[in-house]
Amino acid sequence: MPQRNVVPKPLQKPHPPLWVACSRRDTIHLAAQKGIGALSFSFIEPSEARRWVDDYYDTLQSDDCVPGGFAVNPNLAVVVPLMCHHDEETAIERGLDGAHFFGYSLGHYYIFGTHQPGVTNVWEEFQQNRSRFGFDRNVAAQTGQVLGAQLFQQGLGSLRGAIGTPDQIRQLVRSYAECGVDQIVFVSQAGHNQHEHICESLELFGKEVLPEFAETADETEKAKLERLGPAMEAALARREPPRPAPPYTLAAAMQV
């Protein structure tokens, strides 16, 4: 697309936080080295997330961290499918196929798919091949389980995420929080998920799940920034100062 000038320019300080989308642990490590937020699309389990979190913050507080921007954004976020309903089977029926299609599509475009624009029907391929790539509906649709990024049956894992009741989702979010994950990005608008079901899910989540975590969010973030403050200052001191802008004159502008 042609170059475009974006106005108005951001004036907030610190600068709007920088993030990088990650699908591998190496990229999360790189994000820490650059002092930017890491947004994982890997649907990682809370137990696995703890190792990623530990490496991220250990690196960010080490001499290896030389910020890519003029502010450090110490945040690690994970992406998790969401469909909340008091009846677990209803949540599964409303949200599971859409969540699986979202995950399958990521794999199709970035890993295993062969795509011909305007010809390839990703939805049809998904329906035929989903079980081969970790999106088996029967495995993920088990009820009465403790939620994780995946559910397992006879060694076979299948994406589930936060698709279930408020109590199940609350327990899953608590697990991520205890592992040090800073943010969870919920995905609902995928596949054939219905708009009204998504709105009902968000409303129920906001009423029955979110309050537990909203009460302590500000204090938790403040304590984290106080703990990391010296390391963030040291990291910024290792960064080269901003380059001065060349002098701008009306004559030079007219020549351009």
Question: Tens of pLDDT along 212-246?
Answer: 999 889 999 999 999 999 999 999 999 998 888 77
Strand 156-159 to 150-153 pairing: antiparallel
- pLDDT score at 256: 53
- pLDDT score at 150: 81
- Indicate whether 115 pLDDT > 60: yes
- pLDDT score at 155: 58
How far is it, in rounded angstroms, from Cα 159 to Cα 49?
16
Domains, the chain, ordered by start: 19-238 (3.20.20)
* Angle in degrees, CA 27, 45, 88, rounded to 5: 135
- pLDDT score at 89: 97
- pLDDT score at 167: 97
* pLDDT tier for residue 251 given thresholds of 50, 70 and 90: low
Specify the higher pLDDT residue, 168 or 253: 168
CB 173 within 8 A of CB 163: no
* pLDDT tier for residue 114 given thresholds of 50, 70 and 90: very high
- pLDDT score at 245: 72
Mean pLDDT, rounded, of the chain: 90
Dump pLDDT digits (tens) for 167-221: 999 999 999 999 999 999 999 999 999 999 999 999 999 999 999 999 889 999 9
Please state whether 72 falls in left (phi above 0), alpha (psi between -120 and 50) or beta.
beta
- pLDDT score at 10: 72
- pLDDT score at 23: 81
- Indicate whether 14 pLDDT > 90: no
- Indicate whether 9 pLDDT > 70: yes
- pLDDT score at 234: 97
Strand partners, 152: 157
- pLDDT score at 46: 87
For 51-71, what is the mean pLDDT? 95
- pLDDT score at 254: 55
Dump pLDDT digits (tens) for 127-165: 999 999 989 999 999 999 888 888 776 556 788 999 999
For 103-111, what is the mean pLDDT? 91
Considering Cα of 55, then 57, then 58, then 64, what sign does the dihedral take? positive
- pLDDT score at 41: 83
